[in-house]
C-alpha cells in the first residue's frame, strides 16, 4: 500500500506552535492527554546525571524528516531526562531485523501498521499493554481499527500516529456545467462518469472516472457487501456474486460506457496530474492529496465526498496509516514509551504534528480542534474513517493481494480475461499464497 505524507505548513506556523508547546512543556508535554485523568507514571531516571539517549528510526526523508525532527526537538526541550535522536534509515525493515538479532536495535520506530501481524510473531516488537494500563491511557481515544492493526495475539504493540482512507474527489466546475450532484451510489457514479466523459473520435479527452488502480478492489468489495477473506481468516472470500458485481461495475464503466481507458493517465506524460489538468472528473484518493490540490486555488475547484455506497447500501473504504512501536531489542524501553506517550497521547502534541504534517491523527480527541472542525475539506475523510476497515490480519495477505489477486485483476481491466476466470484464478493463486505464508518467516 502506498504511504503518504502531507506537506509542511509555513515556518511561521510551526515556530508559533512550538513556542506554544514550549510554554506548557512542564505540565502538558508529560501528561497523557486522555479524556480521563492518567495515572501517575514512574519517571525515567537520567544516567549519571546525564539524559538517557534513545534512537528513533524512520524511513521518511525530505519534509517528513523535518517534521519528525521538529517533534524530536519539541520533546527534548520539554524535559531534561531523555534525549531522542531521529535516524533516517533506507531499507529500514531489513536493517531492523538484522539489528534485532545482532545488537544495535533502535529504541522506537516509525511503523507502517500493516506490518505488525507479520513481524510481531518474530518477537522483535515490545508490547505496550502494561504501559497503557499503568499510565491510564484510554484505548477509546483511538480508532479501533488502527489499534487492531497494531495488535497481534491479544498484545498491543504501538499507538497510531496517522489514519487515512480514500474518498471521492470530484471537479466542481465539471459537475456544475453538467448540472450534476456528486454521486452517493454506484449507479450515480456510473451515470455521472458517463455524462462527464468526452471523446474526440478515438481519442479520450476527458475521463469521467479513474479506473486505473486494480488495488482498490478491496474497497469496492466492501461496498458490494463482501470481504476479502473468510470468517476463519485462512482463505479468500471474493470469488462469489459480490466479487462479480465489482467486476461488472468496472466492465460497465470501462467497456460499455467507456468513461476511462487503461493507460490514459500515464499517457498524459510524466509528472502530469490528470485531475489537476482537467482531464479527469473523478478519482479515489486520500487526504494526503488535499494540500497538493488546494494550492491550485480556483484553477482546480474540487470537492470531496465519502465513497459511494454499493447496490445494497453498503459502505466501504480501506483504512491505512502509521504508528510508533518500541523495539524488543531496545535497552531503553521505558524512555521510548515516554516519547511515544508524549507524542501520541497528548492532544497538544498530536495537534503540533497534525498541523505541521497535514495528516489525520489516530488520537480522536484532537479532531475536536478547530483545525479539523472548521475546515470542511476534512469532513468527508473523517466520515469515511467511521466505516473504513483495515486489511485482513494474515501474514500472507499482502503477498496474496499483490501476487495473486492484482495481476489477475489487471488482466481483466486490459480485456484479456473475463470476470469469472479472473476471480477463479485469483482465488486459486491467492489461497495457495495464503497457505504458503501462513507463518511469519
Residue 266 pLDDT > 90: no
Higher-pLDDT residue of 6 and 228 is 228
pLDDT (average), residues 372-397: 96
Same domain, 177 and 263: yes
Do 68 and 58 contact (CB within 8 A), yes or no?
yes
Residue 278 resides in a domain: yes
Shared domain check, 325 and 303: no
As a whole number, mean pLDDT of residues 262-275 equals 87
Within this chain, do residues 210 and 308 fall inside the same structural domain, yes or no?
yes
pLDDT at 7 over 80: no
pLDDT at 141 over 80: yes
pLDDT of the residue at 269: 79
User: Based on the domain organization, do 197 and 107 belong to the same domain?
Assistant: no
**Section 205-210 average pLDDT:** 98
423 with 372, same domain? Answer: no
Q: Which of 385, 402, 428 is the last residue of a domain?
A: 385
- The set of cell numbers assigned to 91 is 531499507
Q: Based on the domain organization, do 137 and 256 belong to the same domain?
A: no
- Element (DSSP H or E) covering residue 321: none
Residues in the chain: 441
| Domain assignment present for 426 | yes
Would 188 be classed as within a structural domain?
A: yes
**51 and 87 in one domain?**
yes
Q: How confident is the model at residue 380 (pLDDT cuts 50, 70, 90)?
A: very high
User: Does pLDDT of 367 surpass 60?
Assistant: yes
* 229-238: average pLDDT: 97
Both 173 and 297 in one domain: the answer is yes
Contacts of 384 (CB under 8 A, 6+ apart): 165, 166, 167, 306, 307, 317
| pLDDT one-digit tens code per residue, 188-201 | 999 999 999 999 99
Instruction: Supply the pLDDT for residue 89.
Output: 95
Kindly tell me if the per-residue pLDDT of 418 is higher than 60.
Answer: yes
pLDDT of residue 47: 62
- Mean pLDDT of all residues in 223-231: 98
pLDDT tens digits along 16-67: 433 333 333 333 333 333 443 344 444 555 667 799 999 999 999 999 999 9
> Residue 46: what pLDDT?
62
Mean pLDDT of 229-254: 98
**Which segments of 183-268 are extended strands (E)?**
198-200, 203-206
Residues 155, 105 share a domain: yes
Q: In terms of domains, do 285 and 219 share one?
A: yes
Residue 357 lies in a domain: yes
The whole-angstrom distance between residue 400's C-alpha and the CA centroid of its chain comes to: 20
CATH of the domain at 43: 3.40.190.10
Is 425 found in the same domain as 302?
yes
Residue-wise pLDDT tens digits, 288-345: 999 999 998 888 999 999 999 999 999 999 999 999 999 999 999 999 999 999 999 9
Q: Region of 271 please: left (phi>0), alpha (psi -120 to 50) or beta.
A: left
Residue 2 included in any domain: no
CB 90 within 8 A of CB 53: no
Residue 375 belongs to some domain of the structure: yes
441 domain-assigned: no
In this predicted model, what pLDDT tens digit does every residue of 143-172 receive, in sequence order?
999 999 999 999 999 999 999 999 999 999
Range of 353's domain?
A: 11-164+320-385
In a domain, 136, yes or no: yes
Number of domains comprising the chain: 2
Q: Residues 151, 241: one domain?
A: no
Amino acid at each position: 500500500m502506498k504511504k503518504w505524507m502531507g506537506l509542511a505548513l509555513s515556518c511561521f506556523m510551526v515556530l508559533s506552535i512550538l513556542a506554544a508547546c514550549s510554554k506548557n512543556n512542564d505540565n502538558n508535554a508529560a501528561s497523557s492527554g486522555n479524556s480521563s485523568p492518567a495515572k501517575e507514571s514512574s519517571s525515567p531516571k537520567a544516567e549519571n546525571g546525564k539524559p538517557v539517549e534513545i534512537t528513533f528510526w524512520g524511513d521518511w526523508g525530505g519534509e517528513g524528516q523535518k517534521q519528525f525532527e521538529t517533534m524530536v526537538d519539541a520533546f527534548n526541550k520539554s524535559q531534561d531526562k531523555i534525549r531522542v535522536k531521529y535516524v533516517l534509515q533506507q531499507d529500514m525493515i531489513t536493517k531492523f531485523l538484522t539489528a534485532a538479532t545482532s545488537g544495535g536495535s533502535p529504541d522506537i520506530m516509525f511503523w507502517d501498521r500493516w506490518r505488525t501481524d507479520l513481524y510481531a510473531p518474530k518477537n522483535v516488537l515490545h508490547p505496550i499493554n502494561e504501559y497503557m494500563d499503568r499510565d491510564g491511557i484510554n484505548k477509546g481515544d483511538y480508532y479501533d481499527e488502527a489499534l487492531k492493526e497494531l495488535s497481534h495475539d491479544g498484545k498491543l504493540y504501538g499507538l497510531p500516529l496517522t489514519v487515512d482512507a480514500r474518498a471521492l474527489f470530484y471537479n466542481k466546475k465539471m459537475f456544475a456545467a453538467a448540472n450534476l450532484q456528486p454521486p452517493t451510489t454506484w449507479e450515480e457514479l456510473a451515470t455521472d462518469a458517463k455524462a462527464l466523459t468526452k471523446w474526440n473520435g478515438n481519442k479520450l479527452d476527458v475521463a469521467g472516472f479513474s479506473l486505473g488502480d486494480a488495488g482498490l478492489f478491496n474497497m469496492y468489495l466492501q461496498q458490494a457487501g463482501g470481504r476479502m477473506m473468510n470468517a476463519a481468516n485462512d482463505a479468500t472470500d471474493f470469488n462469489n456474486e459480490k466479487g462479480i458485481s465489482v467486476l461488472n461495475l468496472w466492465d460497465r464503466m470501462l467497456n460499455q460506457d467507456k468513461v476511462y481507458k487503461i493507460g490514459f493517465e500515464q499517457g498524459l506524460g510524466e509528472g502530469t496530474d490528470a485531475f489537476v489538468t482537467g482531464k479527469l472528473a473523478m478519482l479515489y484518493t486520500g487526504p494526503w492529496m488535499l494540500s497538493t490540490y488546494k494550492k491550485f486555488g480556483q484553477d482546480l475547484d474540487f470537492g470531496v465526498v465519502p465513497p459511494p455506497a454499493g447496490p445494497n447500501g453498503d459502505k466501504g473504504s480501506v483504512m491505512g496509516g502509521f504508528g510508533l512501536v518500541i523495539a524488543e531489542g531496545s535497552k531503553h524501553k521505558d524512555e521510548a514509551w515516554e516519547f511515544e506517550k508524549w507524542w501520541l497521547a497528548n492532544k497538544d502534541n498530536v495537534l503540533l504534528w497534525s498541523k505541521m504534517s497535514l495528516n489525520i491523527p489516530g488520537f480522536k480527541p484532537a479532531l475536536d480542534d478547530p483545525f479539523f472542525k472548521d475546515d470542511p475539506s476534512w469532513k468527508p475523510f473523517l466520515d469515511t474513517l467511521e466505516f473504513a476497515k483495515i486489511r485482513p490480519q494474515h501474514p500472507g495477505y499482502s503477498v496474496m493481494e499483490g501476487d495473486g489477486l492484482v495481476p489477475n485483476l489487471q488482466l481483466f481491466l486490459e480485456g484479456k480475461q473475463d470476470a469469472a476466470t479472473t476471480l477463479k484464478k485469483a482465488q486459486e493463486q491467492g489461497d495457495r499464497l495464503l497457505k504458503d505464508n501462513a507463518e511469519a518467516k
